[in-house]
Chain A
Amino acid sequence: MKKILAILLAAVMLLGLTACGGDQSDDTMKVGFIYLHDENSTYDKNFMDAAKAACEKMGVEYVQKANIAETNDCYDAAVELVEEGCDIIFADSFGHEAHILKAAKEFKDVQFCHATGTNAHTENLDNFHNAFASIYQGRYLAGVAAGLKLNEMIANKEITAEQAKMGYVGAFTYAEVISGYTSFYLGAKSVCPTVTMDVQFTGSWYNEQLEKDAATALISKGCVHISQHADSMGAPTACESAGVPNVSYNGSTEAACPKTFIISSRINWEPYYEYMITCVKEGKAIDKDWTGTLQTGSVELSALGAKAPAAGTAEKLEAVKTGLMDGSINVFDVSTFTVGQKTLTSYKADIDSNVEGADTEVIANGIFEESKYRSAPYFDLRIDGITLVNEKY
């Protein structure tokens, strides 16, 4: 027995020795990614897939840290990635921002990029950057597909025009979500003028059961179509079992929901990753605040579902997409919606996220200019036609 122990002890020493070695090659560029969850979350998987594709295409090394909470863990993860020799560090969750910012202030020769954040343009550091995409364009398009489906249901006498009520499962009563569901609703309304919408919030970005329950509750309240801005499969699966058409988010859910899946919009992060890598390679400054669009390829629609979408959806989407790209159609055209039965002519939004509150006029030429003054959405108006079922979160 003692012999075995001796052998084991010798083995552990060997392990210790091999551990001290380690490979340190700093010639190639290296990008580090920090994720809130792992690939089981559709939100993080979207970032992971893009990271792999972009880094392999650009021929740079990449490392990841998954399951990093929005606490000091995030700062520690960033430090670890710096130690690993990363030239760029990217974090994917809103709550990572303060911790990434702390690391950015400490490691001035490493570039830090952060998705969905709001502070880069006010912090004004040379190595801290925010990025987002005009996903409201994608949601508007998805809304058009939903509206066409409603029209088909009305034409087939399944529902009356007045019963065209959609349900929307949101996470928080926060600008990013409000901008998302409003653009989705406006897309549907552009083809189906009688549409109304109920929004129910879960108070969580990822909670399968809550999202499922919210979708089911909306369906029982007479919603004939469901969409969501939350990260789990909760709402799509609830729709599939109830036979209610669903517009998904962050990628196609057709495999799991073949009967009811219409379309899904998502942000493709590849263009941004390629942009930031190119900037660092060429020694150029990365934008403080970068907004991806349909043009940059950052806003994407999945393939249409095989069964659920209405006839002619593909053609209509192509036309609207062209309109959005050439500027003949604007998602937040103030002539298409009212707030408190009034058309908006002026609105100040809180762009700088400071205690003073609203600071910037965002309506110009009859258009609410979303994502112009900073990449993260700031449309937080409650427009007519949309009812918030709850708002406590």
Chain B
Amino acid sequence: MREQVVRKHHHEPLMHIAKRDDMAWWKAWLIRLAAVLIALLFVGVISVILNGGVFFETYGTMFRGAFGRLGSGSTRLLWKFLQETAILLGISLAVTPAFKMKFWNCGAEGQALIGGLMSAICMMKLSDSLPYPLLLVVTVITSVAAGAVWGVIPAIFKAYYKTNETLFTLMMNYIAMQLVAYYAYVNAIPAGSGQIQSIDTGHLPVIGGQAYLLNILVITVLTVVMAIYLKYSKHGYEIAVVGESQNTARYIGINVKKVIIRTMLISGAVCGLIGCLLVAGTDHSVNANTVGGLGFTAIMVSWLGQFNPGIMIIMSALIVFLDSGAAKVADTFYLNGSYADIVAGIVILFVVGCEFFIRYTVKFRHAQKEVDA
């Protein structure tokens, strides 16, 4: 019976997958939105199974965890949400030129941390000897420079000796963490505790009474600059070509070594700047946890955002929403910290998975028209 069918249809399989022509942008976004919604429904079901609670309560709690009680007119958590989104976006922007060049910069954590360490050192050691405006300038410059150095070392080795940049940048993270731990140990407040509790001097200025506004503004500007740099500058073009094919790049006369080193200088420098915003702007102290793994989350944001700063804004916001919302659910229903990871994991799986339906189409046997995803 089966054989007959197969013969009749000239060995056409039940279904096959074909690359889709360009889909209308709004259709693609509808699919992505639907994927997130389905994922969230899934999350709701899992939450009900885990805590035996009410289905809708999960979502209410998630919203409250991410944005606070907006109904009561309080915007504090909203500011926190914007701050976290901005910092994550900032580091994601930093790694993007490198990733677009197919240079696997897994060292954003360390590059930001070493920038933060330099900020802390300036704040602690130079505040007596430099006037405040000069101190700020020195703090920012040294932090950016430290990040750039941390980024360029693996790039030089990659360009000249073809070392594996993934391992190299990863290892540089640990060096940065140990340096921070060592510095905190030696300069601990209180002495011997191994921690710097709080640095009172050299803070970045607070704009408009909102502690996080400066960071948000800086990263807004950074987003625009990075979008222009990647899309319209000659450097951005060179990065794209080197990423696609180094041979092509060489053939058309691009100095690949130079592009690799220059791009990592920029990537590391931006990380260093974010480290400075974190330490001098927000935390006013430094420890190995200051960047808190954002250097790795940023890699995911960069990829999910398809190296497009605009989409990366949405992805950063989504991830921060999931993290803070799921943490709130975990705390409210006494689930443990892994719950937040599970939630984020599910949603990201759906978001990544839906790209398949945007780029490809499943054609069934007999089907005359494309199956609507």
Contact = CB atoms under 8 A, between A and B. Distances in A.
* Residue of A9, A39, A66, A173 with most partner-chain B CB within 10 A: A66
Nearest to B291: A71
Contact of A95 (B74, B192, B287, B373): B287
Given A94-B195, A118-B190, A71 B76 contact: no
A40 B336 contact: yes
Indicate the size class of the contact surface on chain A.
35 or more
A12 B37 contact: yes
Contact of B76 (A9, A83, A119, A203): A83
B289 interface: yes
A353 B196 CA distance: 12
Contacts of A97: 197
Contacts of B334: 64
B34 A5 contact: yes
A8 B38 contact: yes
A1 interface: yes
Nearest to B37: A8
B197 A98 contact: yes
Interface string B18-50: 000000000000100110011011000000000
Given A19-B60, A172-B193, A83 B69 contact: yes
B69 A24 contact: yes
B192 A380 contact: yes
A175 interface: yes
Contacts of A369: none
Interface stretch (A73-81, A145-153, A260-268, A282-290): A73-81
Residues of B contacting A: mostly:
helix
B233 interface: no
B76 A393 contact: no
Contacts of B56: 15, 18
Contacts, number: 123
Contacts of B64: 19, 22
B195 A22 contact: no
Interface in A1-24: 1, 4-5, 8-9, 11-12, 15-16, 18-22, 24
B337 A94 contact: no
A66 B337 CA distance: 7
Interface string B319-340: 0000000010011101011001
Given A66-B337, A98-B197, A350-B191, A18 B77 contact: no
Given A69-B289, A172-B193, A173-B192, A22 B198 contact: no
Interface in A108-125: 118-119
Contact of A70 (B34, B80, B289): B289
A80 B30 contact: no
Given A24-B72, A38-B337, A18 B60 contact: yes
B168 interface: no
Contact of A71 (B71, B190, B283, B331): B283
A39 B336 contact: yes
Contacts of B38: 8
A72 B194 contact: no
A69 B60 CA distance: 25
A321 interface: no
Contacts of A22: 60, 64, 69, 71
A6 to B, nearest CB: 10
Nearest to A11: B37
Nearest to B72: A24
Nearest to B371: A1
A316 interface: no
Interface in A337-393: 350, 353-354, 357, 380, 393
A301 B334 CA distance: 27
* Residue of A21, A102, A350 with most partner-chain B CB within 10 A: A21
A257 B69 CA distance: 47
A95 B195 contact: yes
A20 B336 contact: no
B352 interface: no
Those 8 A-B pairs whose CB atoms lie nearest each other, nearest first = A353-B190, A19-B63, A98-B198, A98-B197, A67-B337, A15-B59, A38-B336, A1-B372
Interface of B: 30, 33-34, 37-38, 40-41, 56, 59-60, 62-64, 68-72, 74, 76-77, 80, 181, 185, 189-195, 197-198, 278, 282-285, 287, 289-290, 292, 327, 330-332, 334, 336-337, 340, 372-373
18 contacts: A4-B34, A5-B30, A9-B33, A15-B40, A20-B63, A64-B331, A67-B327, A67-B340, A70-B195, A72-B282, A79-B76, A83-B74, A94-B193, A118-B190, A172-B193, A174-B192, A350-B190, A357-B191
Interface of A: 1, 4-5, 8-9, 11-12, 15-16, 18-22, 24, 37-40, 63-67, 69-73, 76, 79-80, 83, 94-95, 97-98, 101-102, 118-119, 172-175, 203, 350, 353-354, 357, 380, 393
